Amino acid sequence: MLTKDILKSFEELTVLCVGDIMLDKFYYGEVERISPEAPVPIFKILKEKSMLGGTGNVIANLASLGIKTKYVGVSGDDESGLMLEAFLDKTNCEYKLIKPENYPTTTKIRMIANNNHLIRADKETFLKLDASLINKFKELVEQEIKDSDIVLVSDYKKGLLTNETTQIIISLCKKYGKKVLVDPKERDFSKYSGADIVKPNLKEFELVSGEKFDTKDDDFKIKIQKTAQKVMQQYNIKNLLITLSKDGMMFVPSSDVKSAVHISAEAKEVFDVSGAGDTSLAVMGAAIAAGMPITNAMRLANLASGIVVGKLGTACVTPQELSIAIDRANGVQKLAQASKIISLEDAKKIAKELKSSGKIIGFTNGGFDVMHLGHIHSFAGAKNECDCLFVGVNSDKSIKNIKGEQYPLQNEKTRAYVVASLEFVDYVVLFDEDTALELVEELRPDVIAKEGYKIEDWPEAQKVISYGGRAVELERIEDYSTNAILKKIDNLDLVETK
């Protein structure tokens, strides 16, 4: 059984990431017509966002979980490179960057309309390492391996991880007694010889083995075991962890392939698989470094991947999201909802960690005594403006101060649970004050959104704007209000039921 104690132990870890880092840019918009210049859709950009990509997404996921991270890699001495450094600084990552002359920072641009991924455009140049760069790389990597608990190698085949540099990493890990976990891209696994765990997906495993597998076959697990044994013997790899997308993942140890472990995937609607492998690598590596048994480490990584594929774009998983997922996996539905209801101190810590990962923090608030469509619409609109939505809920004391002793109709526990049950809401914080101004001052969200309020009459919005955030006046749905519902109830002839 998975326990949540592991999440606390993550804070004691130091993880070194080595690999190809890049800048991910996302343009969100809509397509309403075809261009008169050519038979192509016109993409109208409504919002854009940039974040760490490639190995950077592994780093962001580690940082989001409260893990101390280090990074050694390459970037360009350009505007995108400066953006990468700014994002790395936000994660509090200790990084060492080599900047070759005339090397542009790898950048991936994705265009998304109405949750549909339309196109990706890449700006990149394959990195060519000379002897001086390799020597510099070895020097930097050795310095960082000494003080790390585990090393994660993320190969995106952009030129940094050659056979020589990858073997430098693995040799140094052996020298200092550190485990190394590799997310591969090469068809030739000789590059990864000596690694503790190599984590290919099924397609990559098929390419390296020359075999084809159908997960619907009754004997596919046995076929994978036998083939994995050949691959590990051929390339001197200690263990293989093969991710199978919707069919979960399978761990095969070279010491005893018959003791292979297979776990099923989380049943979840997939919006975008961007970065899911990075999340899996980060959580798996952290769990192994923390001493978690391999089966439980796989289950935890599986839960984390299931969370991020339900989000748009490269995404991170938080300790709270994993905590909720663990509760659900253990069948504790009530606690899963309660995990969203947090104290102000916890909210401040979570908001800080998410911001360090480059995430946009959103906020809205209310009493939510009688939930209706207007509230649902408001939550959906607020969530559309951010990556993580915090909702301030007036406590019973607060509502009594504002409306009188006969209110609220439902106690704060009930109201908080109802709000926490909504998919748009990430966290709920109760507050005793008459307004949410103090809560906003403590959380300092990037954006505040609410319907029915003008900015000039909205102190919380003015506060957010004062430190550079955004305030969004959401469109109000008419004919939905708590007072209107209460009037209808008051006019009903109630029928007693037994």
> Tokens standing for 429?
């914080």
Residue type, 189: F
The Cα 229–Cα 238 span in angstroms is 10
Token duo for residue 465: 């704007």
Give residues with Cβ within 8 angstroms of 331, minimum separation 6.
none
The phi and psi torsions of 161 (rounded to 5 degrees) equal -95, 80
Which residues lie closer than 8 Å to 288 by C-beta, 6 or more apart? 150, 179, 181, 197, 294, 297
Cα–Cα dist 147/289, whole Å: 13
Residue 245 gets the label, from left (phi > 0), alpha (psi -120 to 50) or beta, of left
Please, are residues 104 and 78 in contact by the beta-carbon 8 Å criterion?
yes
Distance CA 480, CA 53 (A): 42
Can you read off the two tokens belonging to residue 388?
């993580």
| Separation CA 269–CA 271 (nearest Å) | 7
In whole angstroms, what is the distance from residue 433 CA to residue 424 CA? 24
- Other Cβ atoms less than 10 A from the Cβ of 219: the count is 10
Burial category of 296 from C-beta neighbours within 10 Å (exposed 0-12, middle 13-18, buried 19 and up): middle
The strand pair at 239-243 and 179-183 is best described as: unpaired
Q: How many angstroms separate the CA atoms of 391 and 367, rounded?
A: 10
- Report the catalytic residues: 278
Tell me how far apart the alpha carbons of residues 321 and 206 are, in angstroms, rounded to a whole number: 33
Tell me the C-alpha distance between 126 and 422, whole Å.
45
Q: Is the peptide bond before 445 cis (omega within 30 degrees of 0)?
A: no
Which run of H or of E encompasses 355? helix 344-356
